């Protein structure tokens, strides 16, 4: 049986809490990490199995201890070298059945033969990708680079892209880094990788019940936000979070503003070495109020307060922020202050962006014809709104 794994980073202190813990791994120190990895590996792999290690088995300069440790791991080991692998020592080299920089093999998935491309680095254009071949890779861990690679693949998988190709298969690529939630620090079969990955990524809500109890499909942009930003997932059964339960309470014209805001939040976490899966930002409610975007949020350790005081005559709003944003110089406080600025910037941009179409707009109402609710609209959408209101009035006569 074939197994796959990558980026174990054995003897690399900085992937544990004893160092920088840049992967946010749950290990106190190297002894803790090595113990868990060895236990999981040998409980699953037999000496008749083959384990494909897609690079970065360990850090350089730890050969004696590394040789002793790797020699205790079961199975035939084939390593596709990564940027941290140093395999010059003959004793270490002899622990592997094969050492290479790139490999193509066959495996089975759901009873069918599939072609695999194995490489330490993610490849955007891999061999036979449009004809069903699957890419397994590592290197990027759960970082911002992983987020952008997956984003590119999603864009390439849209219908317009495939209309230009003779192939009919969607592109499939899986990060087999041991720290990924669906890998959980143990070698996985191809079936396990695909099944666990799909379970990990199928929390996207695609329809929602209206007030009549009817299932209404969500707009494409609402689905895309959930797919691209896991912390923005929705859950209609969550009665304690307005956003999770009810989703977006504004029109799609503000999609670009929201996306820019979320990308900036992800990038800010990445500055502190925090990957997409470890982001503690919690959306609580996203809605239109008095014509502008309101983005209420909290964190996993700080409850969100969905409240604000609005001074309409002065055009001012006083927001109640999460308690984390007190004065302080620690890394978390600085990051959360920056996130507050990012969200505030997005809300300000909504004041001059049409909520309906995304064009340049401004706050409008027409109390003389019964339109009292303020909305930020462009000229065209405002005229449409007036016509609809006038038609509704005529229908009541």
Read off the tokens for 9: 């980073």
Domain residue ranges of the chain, discontinuous segments joined by +: 2-201, 215-350, 362-395
Closest CA to 2 of 164, 176, 236: 176
Cβ burial, residue 300 (10 Å; 0-12/13-18/19+): exposed
Q: Could you read off the pLDDT of 142-154 as tens digits, one per residue?
A: 888 888 898 889 8
Distant-in-sequence, close-in-space partners of 197: CB < 8 Å, separation ≥ 6: 174, 182
- The correct CATH number of 2-201 out of 3.30.300.30, 3.40.50.1260, 3.60.21.10, 3.60.40.10 is 3.60.21.10
Supply the pTM of this predicted model.
0.68
Q: Could you read off the pLDDT of 60-119 as tens digits, one per residue?
A: 656 889 999 999 999 999 999 999 999 989 999 999 999 999 999 999 999 999 999 999
Torsion of CA 211, 216, 219, 224, to 10 degrees: 100
Q: Could you read off the pLDDT of 241-289 as tens digits, one per residue?
A: 999 988 999 999 999 999 999 999 999 999 998 888 789 999 999 999 9
For 322, the 3-state DSSP assignment is coil
Contact 390, 366 (CB under 8 A): no
**Pairing of β 281-289 and β 248-249:** parallel
């Amino acid at each position: 049986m074939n197994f796959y794994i990558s980026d174990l980073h054995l003897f690399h202190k900085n992937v544990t809490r004893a160092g920088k813990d840049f992967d946010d791994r749950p290990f106190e120190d190297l002894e803790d990490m090595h113990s868990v990895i060895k236990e999981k590996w040998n409980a699953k792999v037999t000496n008749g199995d083959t384990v494909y290690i897609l690079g970065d088995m360990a850090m350089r300069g730890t050969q004696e201890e590394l040789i002793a440790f790797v020699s205790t791991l079961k199975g035939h080991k084939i390593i596709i070298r990564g940027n941290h692998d140093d395999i010059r020592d003959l004793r270490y080299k002899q622990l592997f059945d094969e050492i290479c920089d790139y490999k193509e093999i066959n495996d089975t998935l759901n009873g069918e033969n599939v072609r695999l491309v194995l490489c330490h680095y993610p490849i955007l254009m891999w061999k036979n990708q449009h004809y069903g071949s699957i890419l397994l890779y590592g290197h990027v861990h759960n970082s911002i680079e992983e987020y952008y690679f997956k984003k590119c693949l999603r864009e390439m998988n849209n219908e317009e892209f495939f209309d230009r190709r003779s192939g009919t298969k969607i592109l499939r690529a899986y990060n087999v880094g041991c720290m990924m939630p669906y890998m959980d620090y143990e070698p996985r079969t191809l079936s396990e990788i695909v099944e666990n990955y799909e379970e990990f990524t199928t929390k996207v809500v695609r329809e929602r019940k209206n007030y009549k109890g009817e299932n209404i499909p969500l707009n494409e942009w609402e689905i895309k936000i959930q797919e691209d930003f896991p912390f923005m997932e929705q859950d209609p059964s969550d009665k304690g979070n307005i956003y999770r339960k009810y989703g977006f309470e504004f029109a799609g014209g503000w999609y670009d503003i929201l996306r820019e805001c979320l990308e900036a939040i992800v990038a800010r976490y990445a500055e502190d070495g925090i990957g997409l899966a470890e982001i503690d930002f919690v959306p609580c409610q996203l809605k239109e109020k008095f014509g502008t975007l309101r983005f209420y949020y909290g964190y996993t350790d700080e409850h969100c307060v969905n409240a604000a005081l609005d001074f309409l005559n002065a055009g001012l709003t006083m927001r109640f922020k999460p308690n984390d944003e007190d004065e302080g110089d620690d890394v978390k406080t600085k990051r959360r202050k920056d996130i507050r600025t990012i969200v505030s910037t997005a809300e300000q941009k909504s004041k001059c962006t049409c909520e309906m179409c995304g064009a340049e707009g401004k706050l409008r109402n027409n109390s003389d014809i019964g339109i009292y609710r303020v909305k930020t609209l462009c000229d065209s959408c405002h005229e449409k709104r007036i016509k609809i209101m006038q038609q509704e009035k005529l229908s009541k006569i």
